[in-house]
Chains A and B, each alone.
Chain A
Amino acid sequence: AQSVTQLGSHVSVSEGALVLLRCNYSSSVPPYLFWYVQYPNQGLQLLLKYTSAATLVKGINGFEAEFKKSETSFHLTKPSAHMSDAAEYFCAVSLLSNFGNEKLTFGTGTRLTIIP
């Protein structure tokens, strides 16, 4: 079984400050990990993903995430927040399956607010 926990349903940071959104996962086999972003009144789009290559993954809009197996974490960071980063962010996990039932399991989301 797989699961994802996102700590903090709401995070507020000042413009120009560091963004840190936390994600911890649980899985019985090596996972594939994703961060998706949802801007207001839109569908989700991929921000970045970890697929067992480099543990530090760079995504769009200056975001990056580091896979830490020992901590079962995949936290999302951005050095300097911009007003356009205001959105809801979802961490998700997927596992390779021999039974053909691979599914993406989402966390409950973190709403990021940027303070001018």
Chain B
Amino acid sequence: DADVTQTPRNRITKTGKRIMLECSQTKGHDRMYWYRQDPGLGLRLIYYSFDVKDINKGEISDGYSVSRQAQAKFSLSLESAIPNQTALYFCATSPNGAWETQYFGPGTRLLVL
């Protein structure tokens, strides 16, 4: 079984709808991250969490919110989806430390119409 899972893998929604993307990990890591990938822009950090009680904004948090329900679960919500939030979303986890490897989920492809 995969160490980092994301659900759903693909989602089509309409402008104004609320949507939640979920991430679970079995690696036992404290740190979890949400990124979005857009062609030509690389990966940009949306939110990150260094433990269950710690939530931090990344460089592009506007229009998004997160919830860290447990060490293993980190959810990303789009409160009112808009078309420019169409992207590929990745969850990642890592051990503590700036030198540590991040482990990525398979991604969620989101289309907002």
Give residues in A with beta carbon < 8 Å to B. Answer: 9, 32, 34, 42-46, 49, 51-52, 90, 94-97, 100-109
Can you list 12 A-B contacts (CB < 8 A)?
A42-B106, A43-B4, A43-B105, A44-B92, A44-B104, A94-B98, A101-B56, A102-B97, A103-B58, A104-B102, A108-B40, A109-B40
Give the residue among A43, A45, A103 with the most B Cβ atoms within 10 A.
A43
Q: DSSP class of A's interface residues: helix, strand, loop or mixed?
A: loop
Give the residue among B43, B104, B105, B107 with the most A Cβ atoms within 10 A.
B43
Contact partners of B98 in chain A: CB under 8 A: 32, 94-97, 102
Contact partners of B4 in chain A: CB under 8 A: 43
Pick the 8 closest A-B CB pairs, nearest first: A43-B104, A102-B98, A108-B42, A51-B99, A106-B43, A106-B42, A94-B98, A44-B104
**Complex Cα distance A100/B37, Å?**
25
Contact partners of A105 in chain B: CB under 8 A: 45
Q: How far is the CB of A52 from chain B (nearest CB, A)?
A: 8
| Residue contact B101 to A108, C-beta cutoff 8 Å | no
Known contacts A94-B99, A97-B98, A103-B58; is A44 also within 8 Å of B90 by CB? yes
Q: Identify which of B33, B40, B107 contacts A9 (C-beta below 8 A).
A: B40
Q: Identify which of A34, A46, A103, A108 contacts B48 (C-beta below 8 A).
A: A103
Q: Is B64's beta carbon under 8 Å from chain A?
A: no
**Complex Cα distance A101/B47, Å?**
11
Known contacts A49-B99, A96-B98, A97-B98; is A103 also within 8 Å of B42 by CB? no
**Complex Cα distance A108/B45, Å?**
13
**Complex Cα distance A106/B107, Å?**
17
Known contacts A90-B43, A107-B42; is A43 also within 8 Å of B106 by CB? yes
| Residue contact B41 to A108, C-beta cutoff 8 Å | yes
Q: Identify which of A32, A103, A107 contacts B99 (C-beta below 8 A).
A: A32
Q: How far is the CB of B9 from chain A (nearest CB, A)?
A: 10
